[in-house]
Amino acid sequence: MYVDLLIVAIVAAGLMVGNELTVAAFLHPTLRQTQDSLHAPLRRSFATLFGRVMPFWYAAVFLLTAGAAWTGPPHSSLAGELLLASSILWLLAIVFSLISPAPLNKRIAQWQLEKLPANWRDEAARWDRMHAARMFLLLAALICLVAGGVIRS
C-alpha cells in the first residue's frame, strides 16, 4: 500500500509543481509582455480557474504526502525524515497560500475589465512574487518526497 500511495503522491506532486512552475516561468511572464486589453482578461480568467482547482489539488497532494510519510519508513530513518519534511513543506505552502497569494488571487479573479483598479499591474506583479516564493517551497517539498521514496532506509 505504501508504494502505491507514494507513486500517486509523487505523480500528483510532480504535476502540481510542473503546473506551478509553468505559471511562474512561462505563462505570467508571457502575459506581462502583452497589451493590457489581452493581459488583464487572461490574468483574471486564470485566477478564476486556478482559484477553483488549486485548493483541492494542494489539499490532495498534502494528504497523499502525509499518508506516504505515515505509512512509509520509520521517521527515525533518513527516508522517513524526508517524507515528513515533504509533508511539512506542503502544509507550509498551503498556509502561505491562504495568507498571501490566495486573497490577492481572489481580487484578481473579481476584476471588472471595464474598470480595472489603477494598480492592477502592481497587484499582478505582487502575486507573481509571492508565487515565486511559494515555488521554492513546492520544489523543496517535491525533492524531499522523491528523495524519501528512493532512499533505502
Give pTM, 2 decimals.
Answer: 0.94
pLDDT of residue 81: 98
Q: For 29-44, how does the pLDDT look when each residue is reduced to its tens digit (9 = 90+)? A: 999 999 999 999 999 9
- pLDDT band at 152, cuts 50/70/90? confident
Contact 6, 149 (CB under 8 A): yes
Q: What is the mean pLDDT of residues 82-110?
A: 97
pLDDT of residue 111: 97
pLDDT of residue 59: 98
CA–centroid distance for 111 within its chain? 22
Whether the predicted pLDDT of 9 surpasses 80: yes
Contact 153, 82 (CB under 8 A): no
For the chain, give every domain's residue range. Answer: 2-150
Q: Rounded to a whole number, what is the largest CA-CA distance in the chain?
A: 59
- Retrieve residue 45's grid coordinates: 480568467
Q: For 19-32, how does the pLDDT look when each residue is reduced to its tens digit (9 = 90+)? A: 999 999 999 999 99
pLDDT of residue 58: 98
